[in-house]
């Protein structure tokens, strides 16, 4: 037998397979069926992995739907609030176009914020020395 001769040539002794039927180890179906460990190719293992993948896909699809619904609800609430604000009259203290603001007597910048005050005189001297 060719296997025994090859084994004897490489290892110095035969495998002892002469006269044995090796047709099962050469049968592709038997090879696939023997792969029963986790991730193997045996039909039962492939079915188990497919079922696991389907269950995980269902779970992830449900989570995606929940997140989508949450984001949609947040967007709807934001748009509704913006519409209410745009359609309602301004409250007290809000400037009305064409009328001076209630606090128009205060100095403000072009952005409507109070101007920045310069730092105290001593701070300017210290700043010059550190440069």
The whole-angstrom separation of Cα 40 and Cα 33 is 9
Scan for tokens 């389907």, then name that residue. Answer: 54
Least confident of 2-6, 11-15, 72-76, 110-114: 110-114
State the pLDDT at residue 122: 67
Residue 42's Cβ-count burial label (10 Å; 0-12, 13-18, 19+) is: middle
* Residue 21 banded pLDDT, cuts 50, 70, 90: confident
For residues 113 and 47, the model is more confident at 47
pTM passes above 0.95? no
Who wins on pLDDT, 67 or 87?
67
Q: In whole angstroms, what is the distance from residue 19 CA to residue 15 CA? A: 11
**Who wins on pLDDT, 107 or 80?**
80
Residue 123: count other Cβ atoms within 10 Å of its Cβ: 10
CB 42 within 8 A of CB 33: yes
Chain centroid to CA 9:
57
Would the CA dihedral through 98, 104, 107, 111 be positive or negative? Answer: negative
CA distance 49 to 36: 12
């Amino acid at each position: 037998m060719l296997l025994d001769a090859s084994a004897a040539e490489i290892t110095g002794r035969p495998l002892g397979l002469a006269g044995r039927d090796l047709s099962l180890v050469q049968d592709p179906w038997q090879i696939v069926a023997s792969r029963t460990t986790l991730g193997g190719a045996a039909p039962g293992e492939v079915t188990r992995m497919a079922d696991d993948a389907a269950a995980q896909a269902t779970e992830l699809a449900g989570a995606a739907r929940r997140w989508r619904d949450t984001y949609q609800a947040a967007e709807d609430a934001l748009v509704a609030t913006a519409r209410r604000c745009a359609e309602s009259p301004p409250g007290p203290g809000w400037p009305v176009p064409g009328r001076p603001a209630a606090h128009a007597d205060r100095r403000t910048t072009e952005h409507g914020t109070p101007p920045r005050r310069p730092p105290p005189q001593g701070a300017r001297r210290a700043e010059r020395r550190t440069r």
